[in-house]
């Protein structure tokens, strides 16, 4: 006879009791041990009664518990942590509204191919379908935006299910997983010998596939005969930590390179093969275009921006991405670094990189690049008041060092920065990714500065974007995580405002997009940080230096011209 104890997965039976010498362990402690085995040293969380046994386990395992003010921040921070460190991030939130609040952060990680695990609480299994506190169908909600979503069915499976979820994070292109753990499953204790504990690094298969050898040879042949090749180094170059391989590929084969997303910074500014502003010309005129780790989504015009006359090669971790939205001449599924290294080796000795045609192509792109740069330069040096956003992002670019991680969080103002700001090192650019989520800035700052305290973190916010998660500025103060923050303040959701003006006229351009004239410098001061207000462009650089020297979380509130829009905004490319 077995009697189930309400609210627990521990069963009472008439069998002999567990020997006193046998070690018992709770579900929360099993979760913490599994996280430790995965290399997780930090969880981001907002507390709730359903999840506190995980905290207790994390304390025993030496895992930091960073508590925030909103679950969306916890999820974004786990995403950001994965991007910065290369190890999976983890957020732990309570059931019901705790989990639903984190959905945006999980969705952003899903589109950005960022490996993270969200653990959500759930009512007790003994109260299943009874209307327990904060009961929601979490798994059903999370399944469309994760690579894996499941309920932990019993305490002895807790660690095993954590390991399973992390494995799925790396199945193909990386992404998030979700586990819900019922309260009685988490709190119950089982004999340690019944629990399957993963051995650190002992079960994971290598994901560094170099692709089909025949396809590698085909690409080597295409490169040998191309006169006007170019390569776009995308997000997966950083995800795969393929920077060195990408740089070697570009230099050894003399291929002009463009970068987007987290691929920015792969080549340092000033590298003779680093290009930024000549991309449209290159995609129109190249005879060979190699796209590495970037889907043909809206950022690529769904592939329509690539010349139909060019040979197009796509390299990606995900088979489903290759050739999606646009046919390709060659697709290679594999790790960016392994593939690029294999191609460089296969091409070695077969390619004369110094031909007159190749040199002329690089010179042509450099002329286009220099022309675009000098055309924009007067605005980058503009003394206009209100401040031209180009002047603001120019000053930020000048301010960055090789150790500055740059984070962009906003619409129109960050569109400006994408044209001007160039990170000086690999892995030093962070933006939301293709979901275009506003509000990632403060969580990304939290993750980046906690994970890399030796790095300077510089973040540019739109005033609308900052408002979404800005209260966790207090978390940065509480944990003593200094950073240099800049708010490009035009008291508007300006990217949307422009579109409304174009579609409906000036008299309806202020419907639903106008914000108050908020003094974010005073907001920072109120919470114990450093704040300054800037109206004159000449004061931007000194204010940034004072923020750096303050050693505090900071906000420099820069009043920018609300009637000046980024070219990307005026083209409304995000809707095409």
Fold of 213-367: Rossmann fold (3.40.50)
Please give the pLDDT value at position 369: 97
Strand order in the sheet with 530-534: 429-430, 404-409, 456-462, 483-489, 553-559, 530-534
Residues in the chain: 576
Dist. CA 137–CA 60, nearest whole Å: 31
pTM of model > 0.85: yes
Q: What is the pLDDT of residues 438-488, one digit of tens each?
A: 999 999 999 999 999 999 999 999 999 999 999 999 999 999 999 999 999
pLDDT at site 202: 59
> Where do the structural domains in the chain lie, given as residue ranges?
22-194, 213-367, 381-575
Bridge partner residues of 178 (DSSP):
118, 149
Give the tokens for residue 68: 């925030």
pLDDT confidence bin for 259, thresholds 50/70/90 = very high
Q: List, in order, residues 6 or more apart from 443 with CB less than 8 Å away.
A: 44, 68, 72, 73, 74, 75, 76, 77, 79, 80, 105, 469, 472
- Please tell me the predicted confidence (pLDDT) of residue 16: 47
User: Could you tell me which residues come within 8 angstroms of residue 367 by beta carbon, excluding any fewer than 6 positions away?
Assistant: none
- Side-chain half-sphere CA neighbours of 70 within 13 A: 19
Residue 513's pLDDT band, with cuts at 50, 70 and 90, is very high
Confidence of residue 348 (pLDDT cuts 50, 70, 90): confident
> CA 514 → CA 208, 415, 488, 497, distances in Å?
48, 19, 14, 8
The mean pLDDT value of the chain amounts to: 92
| pLDDT of res. 14 | 47
Domain 22-194 has CATH 3.40.50.970: yes
Contacts of 164 (CB under 8 A, 6+ apart): 148, 150
In this prediction, residue 203 has a pLDDT band, given cuts at 50, 70 and 90, of low
Percent of the chain with pLDDT strictly greater than 90: 82
Contacts of 21 (CB under 8 A, 6+ apart): none
Kindly state the tokens that stand for 171.
Answer: 């199945």
Q: What is the pLDDT of residue 11?
A: 36
Per-residue pLDDT at 163 exceeds 60 = yes
Question: How far apart (Å, rounded) are the C-alpha atoms in residues 160 and 190?
Answer: 14
Confidence of residue 542 (pLDDT cuts 50, 70, 90): very high
Burial of 486 (0-12, 13-18, 19+ CB in 10 A): buried
* Rounded average pLDDT over 26-31: 96
CA–CA separation, 59 and 75 (whole Å): 20
| CATH number given to 381-575 | 3.40.50.970
Nearest Cα to 558, choosing from 500, 519, 523? Answer: 519
Give the pLDDT of residue 200. Answer: 66
pLDDT digits (tens, 9 = 90+) for 423-437: 999 999 999 999 999
* pLDDT classification of 206: cutoffs 50, 70, 90: confident
Q: What angle do CA 144, 148, 151 make, to 5 degrees?
A: 105
For residue range 73-108, list pLDDT tens digits in order. 999 999 999 999 999 999 999 999 999 999 999 999
């Amino acid at each position: 006879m077995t009697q189930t104890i309400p609210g627990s997965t521990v069963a009472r039976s008439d069998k002999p009791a567990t020997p006193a010498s046998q070690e018992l362990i709770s579900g929360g402690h099993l979760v913490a041990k599994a996280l430790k085995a995965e290399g997780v040293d930090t969880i981001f969380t907002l507390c709730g009664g359903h999840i506190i046994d995980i905290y207790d386990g994390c304390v025993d395992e030496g895992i930091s518990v960073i508590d925030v003010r909103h679950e969306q921040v916890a999820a974004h921070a786990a995403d950001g942590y994965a991007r910065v460190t290369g190890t999976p991030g983890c957020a732990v939130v309570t059931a019901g509204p705790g989990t639903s609040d984190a959905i945006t952060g999980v969705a952003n990680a899903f589109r950005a191919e960022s490996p993270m695990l969200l653990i959500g609480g759930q009512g007790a299994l003994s109260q299943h379908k009874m209307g327990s506190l904060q009961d929601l169908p979490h798994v059903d909600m999370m399944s469309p935006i994760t690579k894996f979503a499941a309920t932990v069915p019993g305490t002895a499976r807790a660690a095993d299910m954590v390991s399973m979820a992390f494995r799925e994070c790396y199945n193909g292109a990386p992404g998030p997983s979700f586990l819900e753990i019922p309260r009685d499953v988490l709190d119950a204790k089982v004999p340690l010998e019944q629990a399957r504990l993963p051995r650190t690094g002992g079960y994971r298969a290598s994901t560094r596939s170099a692709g089909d050898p025949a396809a590698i040879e085909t690409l080597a042949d295409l490169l040998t005969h191309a006169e006007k090749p170019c390569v776009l180094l995308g997000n997966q170059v950083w995800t795969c930590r393929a920077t060195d391989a990408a740089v070697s590929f570009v230099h050894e084969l003399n291929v002009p390179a463009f970068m987007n997303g987290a691929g920015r910074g792969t080549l340092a500014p000033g590298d003779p093969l680093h290009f930024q502003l000549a991309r449209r010309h290159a995609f129109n005129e190249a005879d060979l275009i190699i796209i590495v780790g970037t889907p043909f989504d809206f950022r690529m015009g769904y592939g329509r921006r690539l010349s139909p006359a060019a040979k197009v090669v796509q390299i990606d971790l995900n088979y489903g991405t290759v050739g999606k939205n646009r046919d390709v001449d060659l697709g290679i599924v594999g790790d960016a670094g392994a593939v690029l290294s294999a191609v460089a080796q296969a091409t070695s000795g077969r390619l004369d990189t110094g031909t007159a045609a190749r040199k002329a192509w690089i010179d042509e792109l450099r002329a286009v690049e220099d022309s675009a740069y000098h055309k924009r330069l007067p605005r980058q040096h503009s003394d206009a008041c209100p401040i031209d956003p180009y002047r603001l992002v120019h000053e930020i670019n000048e301010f960055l060092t090789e150790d500055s991680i740059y984070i962009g969080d906003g619409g129109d103002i960050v569109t400006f920065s994408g044209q001007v700001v160039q990170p000086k090192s690999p892995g030093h650019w962070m933006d939301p990714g293709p979901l275009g989520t506003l509000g990632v800035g403060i969580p990304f700052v939290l993750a980046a500065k906690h994970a890399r305290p030796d790095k300077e973190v510089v973040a540019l916010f739109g005033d609308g974007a900052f408002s979404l998660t800005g209260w966790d500025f207090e978390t940065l103060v509480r944990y003593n995580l200094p950073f240099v923050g800049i708010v490009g303040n035009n008291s508007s959701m300006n990217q949307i405002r422009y579109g409304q003006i174009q579609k409906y006229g000036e008299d309806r351009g202020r419907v639903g997009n106008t914000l108050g004239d908020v003094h974010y410098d005073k907001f920072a001061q109120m919470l114990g940080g450093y704040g300054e207000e800037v109206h004159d462009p000449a004061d931007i650089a000194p204010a940034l230096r004072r923020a750096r020297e303050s050693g505090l979380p900071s906000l420099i509130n820069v009043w920018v011209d609300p009637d000046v829009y980024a070219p990307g905004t005026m083209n409304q490319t995000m809707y095409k």
